[in-house]
Amino acid sequence: MDQNIKSNKYRPITALERSVFLYLHMLSKFRKNDLYGTGPALSSLFMISLEKAEDLLVQWMINFRKDATYSLIYVPSQP
């Protein structure tokens, strides 16, 4: 995904999102199984609600980059 694309579906990444995304990226490098159950650990580690942690996990999955460089992230439309 080219992160230089300007669109209303892309926005700059926040500091919290960047921290969580980098943590998840590093975790994905060392864990052989999936990260679907990581929500509670993210909630505890970053002191955020479980709902927010799970939302960030989904956002990371949508925006995953092999090089872990995030400046803009895709935000899908809410139903």
pLDDT digits (tens, 9 = 90+) for 16-66: 999 999 999 999 888 766 788 899 999 999 999 999 999 999 999 999 999
Range(s) of the domain holding residue 19 = 10-65
- Report residue 62 as tokens: 């949508």
Identify whether 21 is part of a domain: yes
Identify whether 4 is part of a domain: no
Split into its structural domains, the chain has a count of 1
Identify whether 54 is part of a domain: yes
Residue 5 phi, psi dihedral angles, 5° rounding: -70, 130
Identify whether 23 is part of a domain: yes
Task: Give buried/exposed letters for 12-49 (b at 16+ CB in 10 A, else e).
Answer: ebeeebeebbebbbeebeeeeeeeeebbeebbeeeebe
Residue-level pLDDT at 1: 47
User: Got the DSSP string for 27-38?
Assistant: HHHH-SS--GGG
Tokens 């400046």 identify what position? 71
Identify whether 48 is part of a domain: yes
Identify whether 71 is part of a domain: no
